[in-house]
Amino acid sequence: MKKRSDARTRPGRAGMLRRRLLDGGVALGALVFGARGADAQTQPHVHDHMSSTLGLVPPPAVATMDQPLVEPEIRRSVNGELRTSLRVAYAYRHIGGFRLYVRSYEGGSPGPTLRMKPGETLRIRLTNDLPPNRDLMPMDMSNPHQFNNTNFHFHGSHASPSGIADNVMRSMQPGNAYDIEIALPKDHPRGTYWYHPHHHGSADIQMASGMVGAIIVEGDFADVPEIANARERTLVLGEVVFDHKRMVESFDMLFSETATRFFSVNGQRKPTIAMRPGEVQRWRLVAAGYQNDMFLELEKHDLHVVAYDGIQLGRVESLRNLLMAPGQRADILVQAGAPGSYEFRGLPYDQGYPSPTGPVARVVVAGDPMPMRLPAALPKPPLETIRDSEITGRRTLTFSATSPEAEAAGHWQEFAFLIDGKKFDPNRIDQRVKLGAVEEWTINNTHFHDHVFNIHTNPFQVTQVNGQPAPNLPWRDTVVVPRKGSVVFRSRFLDYTGIYMLHCHMMNHEEMGMMQTVEVYKD
- Over residues 372-424, the pLDDT tens digits come to 999 999 999 999 999 999 999 999 999 999 877 655 556 767 788 999 999 99
Question: What region does 309 belong to: left with phi over 0, alpha with psi -120 to 50, or beta?
Answer: left
pLDDT digits (tens, 9 = 90+) for 272-319: 999 999 999 999 999 999 999 999 999 999 999 999 999 999 999 999
Phi, psi for 151 (deg, rounded to 5): -165, -165
Same domain for 255 and 349, yes or no, is: yes
Residue 280: give the domain boundaries: 225-365
Same domain for 501 and 461, yes or no, is: yes
Phi, psi for 253 (deg, rounded to 5): -70, -45
Same domain for 361 and 466, yes or no, is: no
Let me know if residue 355 belongs to a domain. Answer: yes
Q: How far is CA 35 from the centre of its chain?
A: 28
Q: Which of 365, 397, 432 is the last residue of a domain?
A: 365
Query: Which band of pLDDT confidence, cut at 50, 70 and 90, is reported for residue 509?
Result: very high
Q: Quick one: pLDDT at residue 139?
A: 80
CA 263 – CA 356 distance, rounded (Å):
8
Q: Say if CB 4 and CB 204 are below 8 A apart.
A: yes
Query: Which band of pLDDT confidence, cut at 50, 70 and 90, is reported for residue 238?
Result: very high
CA 242 – CA 96 distance, rounded (Å):
12
Q: Which of 308, 330, 365 is the last residue of a domain?
A: 365
pTM for the full predicted model: 0.88
Q: Say if CB 81 and CB 125 are below 8 A apart.
A: no
Q: Quick one: pLDDT at residue 36?
A: 33
CA 315 – CA 195 distance, rounded (Å):
27
Residue 502, beta-bridge partner list:
455, 516
Same domain for 327 and 422, yes or no, is: no
Let me know if residue 478 belongs to a domain. Answer: yes
What value does the mean pLDDT take over residues 497-515? 96
Same domain for 360 and 486, yes or no, is: no
Same domain for 350 and 428, yes or no, is: no
Same domain for 260 and 300, yes or no, is: yes
What total number of domains does the chain contain?
2
Same domain for 336 and 393, yes or no, is: no
Same domain for 331 and 296, yes or no, is: yes
Say if strands 113-116 and 213-217 run parallel, antiparallel, or are unpaired: parallel
Residue 267 has pLDDT above 60, yes or no: yes
Q: Quick one: pLDDT at residue 132?
A: 97
What value does the mean pLDDT take over residues 479-507? 98
Let me know if residue 431 belongs to a domain. Answer: yes
Let me know if residue 218 belongs to a domain. Answer: no
Query: Which band of pLDDT confidence, cut at 50, 70 and 90, is reported for residue 429?
Result: very high
Write the CATH number for 305: 2.60.40.420
Q: Quick one: pLDDT at residue 103?
A: 98
